[in-house]
Amino acid sequence: MINYDKIYINGAWVPSEGKGVLEVTNSATEEIIATIPDGTTGDVDKAVAAAKAAFEGWSALPSEKRAEYLMKIHAGLEARTQEIAEAVAREVGMPVGMATMIQVGLPKGNFAITAGLLGTYKFEEEIGNSIVVREPFGVVGCISPWNYPLHQIALKVAPALAAGNTVVVKPSEVAPINAFILAEIVHDAGLPAGVFNLVTGVGPVVGEAIAAHPDVDMVSFTGSTRAGKRVAEVASQNVKKVSLELGGKSPNVILDDLDDEGFTKAVAAGVGKCFLNSGQTCTALTRMLVPRARLAQAEQIAAAAAAKFTVGDPFDPASRLGPLVSAVQRDRVRGFIQTGIDEGATLVTGGTASPEGLTAGFFVQPTIFSNVTPDMTIAREEIFGPVLSIIPYDSEEEAIRIANDSIYGLAAGVWSATPERAKQVARRLKAGQVEVNGGSFNPAAPFGGYKQSGLGREAGKFGLEEFCEVKSMQL
């Protein structure tokens, strides 16, 4: 049990103005593992004032000096990798081995990648008789989710600081321990006071205060589409820059030219891409589109793949799926599974009952539906759990139409025996990133979505530019 009784403002750990605390739960045992301050609008005011005061000095630093600070943070994360991985495994439920690689490996890499960009990125360029300058916004509010908690903070903080901005961070109150560790690392790295500030609390209070604050020049938010709309609405009153990384209902189009070996590989890989982090992944490929003639074959392969996803304690090496993050999330996912049954989808494996032998913790069975039609709830709503919908199609054109028939456009996948055909289909999918024949995630490539999956891009050069204003000086 850890009692975090302070927040981080202006280079120091200080008491929150709020008297309340928020409890953090171990998702596998349902035990309380930490408490954090239930922050207030007054805390946000202090943090923003500190960030505003620090901005002039921080933005004036040479970019190579800012890069040095980012690499110090990278080194701090490296030194505390195991501690952070175990914290996230308890908070979120990802098995600790995967958490080490993903939940800590990605944010570590992001700080290093961003620091490296500062060695080559041109903040000024000449276009005709103009000098085009990229400058920092000022104070950036960073509001992050619970599913990849440290990574989503890093995708905001690293490029924001690299561009010369100062930041006020609000982590998810569901998974905040990793953010406190990051603040300790930032402090030890010696960043000037006020450059990085951490305020904990709930979204309707702390999150909205950050979005609404007149001295916050930009807001970067990751979370649900519903919450993102609210952030944009509140921030619009000051006409500030808003970057949103929101929900998804991502299609995985498996084309009809694959032989049996290729089809088996595609379906099995698709199950894994749906179930990663117990399905608590915004880019999860939750809609698998297969040729109608091969539907029964897809069901058999998917069921066999799902059987390999052993559900259990995140600290058990045999576990491939941990719990969901909370009782609310567990009950929500089970509700969607029941809806799928009620609406007539074919339940291939899984269901609403608890996994065998797991009486405590927020566990859900890995679940696969088949004969799903595009109008069913489970084909349209973001479930955020280990639930896959297999949808049959009769032609390539129909598959593309079904894939694009969504309010979301965050990610997609396409498989074909012919790489060129796969790329042609990928170009027609309305999504911010498309995996072609199982192409691996690239942390330096731009990340973000079309439609109601968000605005703007994170990661790499595009992520750095997101945190820059553009000025042209005509000579």
Say whether pLDDT at 237 is over 90.
yes
Beta-carbon count within 10 A of 3 CB: 9
282 part of the active site: yes
- Cα-Cα-Cα-Cα torsion 216, 217, 223, 229, nearest 10 degrees, comes to 100
Question: C-alpha distances in angstroms, 26 versus 87, 361, 366, 384?
Answer: 9, 8, 20, 19
Q: Residues spanned by CATH 3.40.309.10 within the chain?
A: 251-448
Which is the catalytic residue, given 282, 299, 382, 435?
282
Is 245 among the residues known to form the active site?
A: yes
Mean pLDDT calculated for residue range 233-243? 95
Average pLDDT value for the chain: 96
| Amino acid 1: pLDDT | 85
In this prediction, residues 378-388 reach a mean pLDDT of 97
C-alpha 247/C-alpha 231 separation (Å) is 14
> Facing residues of 121 across strands?
none
Place of tokens 């491939």: 320
User: Residues 324-342: what's their mean pLDDT?
Assistant: 96
Can you tell me the distance from the alpha carbon of 314 to that of 278, in angstroms, rounded to the nearest whole number? 11
- The predicted-structure confidence for 69-109, as pLDDT tens digits, reads as follows 999 999 999 999 999 999 999 999 999 999 999 999 999 99
Residues of the chain with CATH 3.40.605.10: 2-246+453-474
Query: Average pLDDT for residues 157-181, to the nearest whole number?
Result: 97
Q: How many CB atoms lie within 10 A of CB 417?
A: 15
Q: What is the pLDDT of residues 182-222, one digit of tens each?
A: 999 999 999 999 999 999 999 999 999 999 999 999 999 99
3-state helix, strand, coil in the chain (%, to 5): 45, 20, 35
Given pLDDT bands bounded at 50, 70 and 90, which one contains residue 263?
Answer: very high
Q: Could you give the CA distance from residue 26 to residue 397 in angstroms, rounded to a whole number?
A: 46
The catalytic residue among 91, 208, 245, 466 is: 245
pLDDT in tens, 41-50: 999 999 999 9
At 38, give phi and psi (nearest 5°). Answer: -90, 90
Q: Which CATH class is domain 2-246+453-474?
A: alpha beta
Average pLDDT score over residue span 13-30: 96
Residue 12 DSSP SS3: strand
Residue 399 pLDDT: 98
- Give the list of residues 6+ apart from residue 376 with CB closer than 8 angstroms, or none: 340, 343, 344, 345, 389
Q: Which CATH number fits domain 251-448: 3.40.309.10, 3.90.950.20, 1.10.287.110, 3.40.1280.10?
A: 3.40.309.10
What is the C-alpha to C-alpha distance for residues 300 and 292, in angstroms, rounded to an integer? 14
Predicted pLDDT at 330: 96
- Provide the 8-state DSSP code for 319: -
Assess contact for 378 and 406: CB atoms under 8 A.
Answer: no
